[in-house]
Amino acid sequence: MTEVICHRGYSSRYPENTILAFQKAVESGADGVELDVHLTRDGEVVVIHDERVDRTTDGVGYVKDHSLAELRRLNAAYGWRTAPQRIPTLEEYLELIAPTGMKSNIELKTGLFDYEGMEEKVWNQICRFGLENRVILSSFHAQTLLRVKALAPEAPCGLLNQDKLLSPGQATRDLGFEAYHPLYLRLRPGVIRELKACHLEINAYTVNGHGPLTYLFAWDVHSVITNHPRRALTLRRLIQGNPGLTNPKIVVK
């Protein structure tokens, strides 16, 4: 059965990548959480999507230019009608998620800045909580994941991609990764077949609409990463709980 993964927590209803959004993701009944990590100026692993704090907080500037103490003073629920939220550390997230049994898809955000030592810091924290078998590390940058594999060959890794590739399965497998994380619009039937033939997990992002969710449930991909977990769970129950309704010819829109 396809897993439903909450994109940045329950981000359609709560401030993304906050403890509140992660708590609500747990309560939603979803199978896991997707989150993003950066390093602070003083080397702490924090959970936030953008390289800059401007969009999601009341602060300005790059995450890497702030200490953890400085980031703690920002409101990560800026623009939301909720109580103020702090930017969480990865440790705080793992402490919350460890007792739940949920899986975690942790994206290493090395697109603009190649944070030295981040891979090791992240993996060490995962191991400290005993979550090695409930985590996958993802990145748009193969070199980041190759560094993960160099320090922990057993670490599950997923290559993120939003572009069209002729043979994404073969390319991902040749790199030694276990999963491919495509923009859902790239998952045409031929691509899905090739990825399945390569025995890779297909973890599609960011899948919100009824049509795309139905299409991917019909193809039984490994997981969908969504801002709307309750919608996805309802559709999964309808589609995968009733095999007669499955129709892989549904078109992604």
- Catalytic site residues? 7, 49
- The angle, 0 to 180 degrees and rounded to 10, between the axes of the packed helices 142-151 and 118-128 is 50
How far apart CA 173 and CA 233 sit, in angstroms, is: 30
Q: What are phi and psi of 151, to 5 degrees?
A: -95, -25
Sequence letter at residue 206: T
C-alpha 197, offset from chain centre: 23
What's the Cα-to-Cα distance from 44 to each of 39, 143, 158, 246, rounded to whole Å? 5, 21, 23, 46
**Four-CA torsion 232, 4, 162, 91, nearest 10 degrees:** 130
